Structure 1
Amino acid sequence: MTGIHRDTTIGYVKLTIKSLERSLAFYQHVIGFQVVSQTDHTAELSADGKQVLLVLEENPSAVVLPERTVTGLYHFAILLPDRKELGIALARLIENGIALGQGDHAVSEALYLSDPDGNGIEIYADRPRSTWRRDSEGNYVMTTAPVDVEGLLEEAGAERKSRLPEGTVIGHIHLHVTDLQEAKAFYTDVLGFDIVGNYAGMSALFISAGGYHHHIGLNIWAGKNAPPKPANASGLDYYTIVLPDPEELSRVTKALTDAGYPIEEKQEGIFVKDPVSGAHIAFTL
């Protein structure tokens, strides 16, 4: 089996939300996105006014489910260019009265929050890759220590921004799945992602391309064999995996069809249903 190309990244995330007006107020004024395009029921958001990172689609009858009850989105993660920008984002969140979780993961520093529909969000900044460490089994050593909040705010100083900075991307996505062995079979055996964190004690598996600390996190924290998100619930519709060239797209497409996964070609990319999270993946260039 050929591993996935090392330059593979996460592209954008598409969410179903209950009220576009409510969500735009949150994602623009609290998170700092800009609207690239908008219709009556959808909006495309970016950090730089060009590259779409988040797509929102309104379903006024969408049901907001309790946390950790179904498979699907645990959080999508907004990666900022540096620690100072994380401090500026933290100050903006505090000034907006947002309830926050946080964790110093050794490879990164992260803030956690939810949008008005209960969709999980991580905002984080990586530490230099040269400081990342692996254990004897090749897993990245990741911790959940308290973030140095005062240090982040000192880094920001008096600087305040209403928008996310250029260079912001979706760094990773973290999913509730039905079974970790089945997740491994799909994401590593078929697609070719590398395991970079087999955290059995945490009931989680982290995978990536090109040695990143994780592009996709997989967990069974909603319970093994948890049910899928109902069609009428808010949450993750699909996320995109960006491949570097047509050859890699052809390879991934062939690997999926050879393994018996039905694919669908759409304008946005090659779609396949993730068999363990219930969400769809769009492979794009």
Structure 2
Amino acid sequence: MAGKLTCGVHHVGLTVPDLDQARAFFCDVLGFDVVGGKPDYPSIFVSDGTVLLTLWRAADPITARAFDRRANIGLHHLSLAVANDDALDEAWEKISAHPEVIIDVAPEPMRPGSATRHFLVFIPGGIRLELATPFAKG
């Protein structure tokens, strides 16, 4: 088959233990907007104008098992793009200051010698989130 059947990500759905906590992180820290939701599911949809996230509350957050990226099949982490190094540094300042964020990898080159930088954290609710600058050409 010569042509690609897809043209990008439509949305990413994340199961979270607490919708209010997840909304507060994505909207208050990262600047996303609430663009919809389904109260009977319950869920909210948030967007930064480029990516749409569906945040679904686990049916029973108390008994839900946390995802183990090394043991389970599924989303290893969500990576969001930032415009440049200044934007990465600003995001790092805001996100790392959040009291419920756990630092996984502080800002660093994506690989040795790379101009592309990133960092990884566990956001409130335990999802692993990466922010990264654009891939450097060459």
Give the TM-score of the pair, scaled to structure 2. Answer: 0.73
Aligned to 2:4: 164
Q: Once the two structures are aligned, what percentage of the paired residues are identical?
A: 24
CA gap of 1:279–1:221, structure 2 versus 1, over 3 A, is closer
Aligned letter for 1:209? D
- Superposition pairs of residues 111-190 of structure 1, within 5 angstroms: 161=1, 163-164=3-4, 168-190=7-29
User: Which structure has the larger Rg over C-alpha atoms?
Assistant: 1
Aligned letter for 2:86? E
Gaps of 5+ in 2: 111-117, 134-138
Structure number with the bigger relative contact order (C-alpha 8 A, sep ≥ 6) is 1
**Structure 2 residue 129 is the aligned partner of structure 1 residue 281:** yes
Is the CA contact 1:176–1:222 (under 8 Å) kept in the aligned structure 2? no
Q: Aligned to 1:205, what secondary structure does the other structure show?
A: strand
Gaps of 5+ in 1: 1-160
**Structure-2 separation of matches of 1:240 and 1:174:** 13
Aligned letter for 1:273? F
**Structure 2 residue 38 is the aligned partner of structure 1 residue 199:** yes
Is the CA contact 2:17–2:58 (under 8 Å) kept in the aligned structure 1? no
Aligned to 2:55: 218
Aligned letter for 2:53? I
Aligned length: 121
Q: CA deviation at 1:216?
A: 1.0
**Structure-2 separation of matches of 1:242 and 1:228:** 25
Q: CA deviation at 1:279?
A: 3.0
CA gap of 1:162–1:187, structure 2 versus 1, over 3 A, is same
Q: CA deviation at 1:222?
A: 4.2
Aligned letter for 2:91? V
CA gap of 1:174–1:195, structure 2 versus 1, over 3 A, is same
Q: Aligned to 2:77, what secondary structure does the other structure show?
A: strand
Aligned letter for 2:66? P
- Superposition pairs of residues 1-285 of structure 1, within 5 angstroms: 161=1, 163-164=3-4, 168-210=7-49, 215-225=52-62, 226-230=64-68, 231-260=70-99, 261-263=101-103, 264-265=105-106, 266-268=108-110, 269-276=118-125, 278-285=126-133
**Structure-1 separation of matches of 2:24 and 2:96:** 15
